[in-house]
Amino acid sequence: MTDTSARSASLALLQRYYDAFNRADWAGMLDCLSEDVAHDLNQGVREIGRPAFAAFLARMATCYREQLDPVVLMATDDGSRGAAEYVVHGHYISTDEGLPPATGQPYKLPGGAFFAIADGRITRVSNYYNLEDWIDQVY
């Protein structure tokens, strides 16, 4: 695979991942991940494996309704690393443990993610957004 096609393949993988997110297609998102994916939660711990990621998605689906727009994707020439910058448009619909009470509050904030990619799958997802900004918006 040439560098250009490796980059294109990684960008297509990341596009599938975010398209699935915006459809709330959790199985589609999981299909983009390696079995032993590392997930670095924003200001939190690293979780390992698709089952842990699936549990994270289930919690997210219970507590939040989100769309990402716009999503800007980047990838290295060799396709081994990628990044995304986006704006989260959401509603906080059910109280998430350790966070303020939910009453359907809307929020909008920028976020980003960094990825490691191998063998056509995402092997690491590291997410970032400004938690204090989010808390200020939902209080």
At 48, phi and psi to the nearest 5?
Answer: -120, 135
Q: What is the mean pLDDT of each run of 10 residues along the chain (139 residues)?
A: 82 98 98 98 93 97 98 97 98 96 98 98 97 96
| SS3 call for 39 | strand
pLDDT for the residue 2: 52
Spatial contact of 64 and 91, defined as CB atoms under 8 Å apart: yes
pLDDT for the residue 44: 86
Domain hosting 64: range is 3-138
Count the domains in the chain. 1
CATH of the domain at 113: 3.10.450.50
In a 13 Å sphere around the CA of 74, the CA atoms on its Cβ side amount to 8
Q: Which residue in this structure is represented by tokens 């690293």?
A: 46
Instruction: Select from 84, 86, 113, 78 the least CA-distant residue to 8.
Output: 78
pTM: 0.94
